[in-house]
Chain A
Amino acid sequence: MELLVASAIGLLTAAGIYLILRLRTFPVILGLSLITYAVNVFLFASGRLTIGAPPVLMDDVTRYTDPLPQALVLTAIVISFGMTAVVVMIALGAFLGADDDAVDDGPDEQATETEDAV
């Protein structure tokens, strides 16, 4: 199971990085989401993988799963979800305004922008 989880995290991260490097807003946002999924699974696994055990810390319970990473993952999911929503809105605004969804600045974009402004 460790191999399965580890390779899933690796695959999600690799795909996410590839998509981010596409430098268009849609692939970049998809890539960011994939990486946040990867990190959520990673956080979950940081408390060791235990199957079928309750998340409790008590003296008489011998076999349990660590509850803290689950709380951390919940926080991380909420935050990354909110952040993704924000970046979608800003990217949509930028795309509708400029009719261009490239994330990076073009070679001489700065110069042309300011010439246009003048």
Chain B
Amino acid sequence: MTHWIIAPVVLPAFLAPFIVLAARYHMGIQRVFSVAGVLALIAIAAGLVWQASDGTVTLYQLSDWAAPFGIVLVADRLSTMMVLLTSILALMVLLYGIGSKWDERGRHFHALFQFQIMGIMGAFLTGDLFNLFVFFEILLIASYGLMIHSGGNVRLKAGVQYVSFNLIGSTLFLFALGSIYAETGTLNMADLAARAQMVGAEQTVGIRVAAVLLLLVFAIKAALVPLHVWLPSSYAEAPPVVAALFAIMTKVGAYAIIRVYTMIFPESLEATAGLHHTWLMPFALLSLALGMIGLLAAKKLDRLVAFSVVGSMGMVMVAISMFSEAGISAALYYIVHSTFAAAALFLIVDLVEQSRDDLQLTTQPPIAGAPLTAGLFFAAAIAMAGLPPLSGFVGKLLILNAGFSEGAMPWIWAIILGSSLISVVGFARAGSVVFWKSESLRPEVDEDDDDSQEVSEDDQQAPSALAYGAVMGLLALIALHTVLAGPMTRYMQATSAQLFAPDAYMEKVLDTPGKLSKPKDSSKEDH
């Protein structure tokens, strides 16, 4: 029964090599297996969410080794929710990739896609910090391949920047893990949470350095200003369908911050007092402001969307850095929303790009399928900017509400509301330049030559129904997230409450018997 926890990792791990080895030259078979795999993942993830929804923490001990010695996977409310979110996003992105034929423009798209999912799922499920590092590397190495999918000079150059930056991040992660191990003698998260409490008041230097290093690493993943510099160009130059999948990658960083800094280094821990609880908020507000200003300043549509990702991650981090139950539950609601919204926007960028020469924010003749694409952009932009009918508004309200009791409340309110206004202006400008004004160019072209106009209309064929369906599916999910805001919020509150009462999690991990669980008292006390 509990073996289901490892299924989200094992299934893509087997599927990917199968696709490479057996279905290498058969795009049809690759597509069938890839979609079937993701559908199965959704079913498994839904089962895991159902299992965790009553608050039970499920443990999976690999090879039955007991917790601090063996690697464990843990499924609680937070991790199962993120697993389900990932699998749903993956389905939509995959359908779009098939519908827009992006998967044919380079080799091994589906295999890399499955490896990427494997890494993300593992990062959400693992209960061990070093294992988290390993899954980070799996998702990164798959993302390197996806990022430069279908090649091109600009994309390769952005790929070099992306890979170098993330390699530095991985090295920092190892430094952090080394110092944590040197200080506490364990890397299991639950064990670490118990041992961090025992660090003497005079010996906090090492653990403080480790806590800050770890925060830096996760902040790189979460694209927190000033560590966001890798994001705009790599997300803009990556194939849009890949960038849409990457919408979940920044959330892996946010997830890691939530997990580590509520359980291992909570606010009540004296050893790390005055570090992240003080310093995360200003940087979160800064990245919210900078993301939205960048959105307004962007000259290309893809950069605009990339900066909106930076801004929305800033919003998530503002909610997280309150480190309160209300703040985290608002952050979780917003994480789900912004994942779908960012993915939808990237896919719409691709819909636009298919029939335009470039993505400059200049007025050009209408693209094929313009009315529908414009409508989708309108809806997605409303969602991302957080205007009333869609879930961005609900999420923002929740964050504002949670910020009401904070000391930095004037700053939080001023920057969230101000940046929302800026993002509305930015999206409105982009939408009017790309979609609205292009209608004014149509008669001008008609005057030239009627025949040539018809030919060019034929040349630029409208994107396929499947591609549109995937984008509409994402927007429908956002609408669903809005309609079900009540139950979703209650679920997020329960999740957040579970995070702030980590005792059940720690007991489950540390007290479940397995191999080597007996000599734990005698042999592991040497550090």
What residues make up the interface of A, taking CB atoms closer than 8 Å to B?
20, 25, 28, 32, 35-36, 39, 42-43, 45-48, 57, 59, 68-69, 72, 75-76, 79-80, 82-84, 86-87, 90-91, 93-94, 97-98, 100, 103-105, 110-111, 113-114, 117-118
Majority SS of interface residues in chain A? Answer: helix
Write out, one digit per residue, whether chain B residues 150-179 have a CB within 8 A of any chain A CB (1) or not (0): 011110110111011001101100110111
Structural contact, A80 and B170, CB atoms closer than 8 A: yes
Most A C-beta atoms less than 10 A away, residue of B140, B164, B233:
B164
* Residue in chain B with minimal CB distance to A72: B130
Q: For A43, give its contact among B134, B137, B161, B177 (CB under 8 Å).
A: B177
In the bound complex, residues from chain A placing their C-beta under 8 Å from that of B168 are 20, 32, 35
8 nearest A-B residue pairs (beta carbon)? A94-B156, A46-B182, A46-B178, A97-B153, A39-B174, A98-B153, A43-B178, A87-B163
Q: For A105, give its contact among B134, B167, B171, B233 (CB under 8 Å).
A: B233
In the bound complex, residues from chain A placing their C-beta under 8 Å from that of B159 are 90, 94
Structural contact, A39 and B360, CB atoms closer than 8 A: no
In the bound complex, residues from chain B placing their C-beta under 8 Å from that of A76 are 174
* Residue in chain A with minimal CB distance to B155: A94
Report the minimal beta-carbon distance from B447 to chain A, rounded to whole angstroms: 23
Write out, one digit per residue, whether chain B residues 173-216 have a CB within 8 A of any chain A CB (1) or not (0): 01101110110000000000000000000000000000000000
In the bound complex, residues from chain B placing their C-beta under 8 Å from that of A20 are 164, 168
* Sample of 22 A–B contacts (CB below 8 Å): A32-B167, A32-B168, A36-B167, A42-B174, A43-B174, A43-B181, A46-B181, A47-B181, A59-B519, A69-B178, A72-B178, A72-B181, A79-B134, A79-B170, A83-B141, A84-B167, A87-B163, A90-B144, A90-B156, A94-B153, A111-B299, A114-B358
In the bound complex, residues from chain B placing their C-beta under 8 Å from that of A39 are 171, 174-175, 178
Query: What separation, in Å, do the CA atoms of A59 and B526 have in the docked complex?
Result: 12
Structural contact, A59 and B522, CB atoms closer than 8 A: yes
Report the minimal beta-carbon distance from A71 to chain B, rounded to whole angstroms: 9
Q: For A98, give its contact among B157, B161, B170 (CB under 8 Å).
A: B157
Q: For A69, give its contact among B134, B151, B181, B233 (CB under 8 Å).
A: B181
Q: How many residues of B contact A (CB 8 A)?
A: 38
Query: What separation, in Å, do the CA atoms of A20 and B161 have in the docked complex?
Result: 11
Structural contact, A75 and B134, CB atoms closer than 8 A: yes
Structural contact, B300 and A114, CB atoms closer than 8 A: yes
Report the minimal beta-carbon distance from A91 to chain B, rounded to whole angstroms: 5
B148 part of interface (Cβ distance < 8 Å): yes
In the bound complex, residues from chain B placing their C-beta under 8 Å from that of A93 are 148, 151, 156
* Residue in chain A with minimal CB distance to B156: A94
20 additional A-B pairs beyond A42-B174, A83-B163, beta carbons within 8 Å, are A20-B168, A32-B167, A39-B174, A43-B177, A45-B178, A47-B181, A59-B522, A68-B181, A75-B134, A79-B137, A83-B137, A86-B144, A86-B163, A91-B160, A93-B148, A93-B151, A103-B164, A114-B358, A117-B358, A118-B360
Query: What separation, in Å, do the CA atoms of A75 and B175 have in the docked complex?
Result: 14
Structural contact, B153 and A32, CB atoms closer than 8 A: no
Report the minimal beta-carbon distance from A76 to chain B, rounded to whole angstroms: 6
B523 part of interface (Cβ distance < 8 Å): yes
Write out, one digit per residue, whether chain B residues 479-515 have a CB within 8 A of any chain A CB (1) or not (0): 0000000000000000000000000000000000000
Structural contact, B163 and A117, CB atoms closer than 8 A: no
B449 part of interface (Cβ distance < 8 Å): no
In the bound complex, residues from chain B placing their C-beta under 8 Å from that of A48 are 182
Structural contact, A83 and B523, CB atoms closer than 8 A: no
B357 part of interface (Cβ distance < 8 Å): yes
* Residue in chain A with minimal CB distance to B137: A79
In the bound complex, residues from chain B placing their C-beta under 8 Å from that of A25 are 160
Q: For B357, give its contact among A36, A45, A72, A118 (CB under 8 Å).
A: A118
In the bound complex, residues from chain A placing their C-beta under 8 Å from that of B152 are 97
In the bound complex, residues from chain B placing their C-beta under 8 Å from that of A104 are 161
In the bound complex, residues from chain A placing their C-beta under 8 Å from that of B522 are 59
In the bound complex, residues from chain B placing their C-beta under 8 Å from that of A87 are 160, 163-164, 167
Q: For A28, give its contact among B141, B164, B179, B233 (CB under 8 Å).
A: B164
In the bound complex, residues from chain B placing their C-beta under 8 Å from that of A46 are 178-179, 181-182
Most A C-beta atoms less than 10 A away, residue of B156, B360, B519:
B156
Structural contact, A94 and B175, CB atoms closer than 8 A: no
Query: What separation, in Å, do the CA atoms of A82 and B145 have in the docked complex?
Result: 13
In the bound complex, residues from chain B placing their C-beta under 8 Å from that of A80 are 167, 170-171
Query: What separation, in Å, do the CA atoms of A93 and B157 have in the docked complex?
Result: 9
Report the minimal beta-carbon distance from A9 to chain B, rounded to whole angstroms: 10
Contacts known (A20-B164, A83-B167, A113-B154); A59 close to B178, Cβ less than 8 A? no
Query: What separation, in Å, do the CA atoms of A84 and B141 have in the docked complex?
Result: 11
Beta-carbon contacts under 8 Å, B122-147 to A: 130, 134, 137, 140-141, 144
Structural contact, B156 and A97, CB atoms closer than 8 A: yes
Query: What separation, in Å, do the CA atoms of A104 and B229 have in the docked complex?
Result: 11
Query: What separation, in Å, do the CA atoms of A20 and B168 have in the docked complex?
Result: 9
Query: What separation, in Å, do the CA atoms of A86 and B156 have in the docked complex?
Result: 12
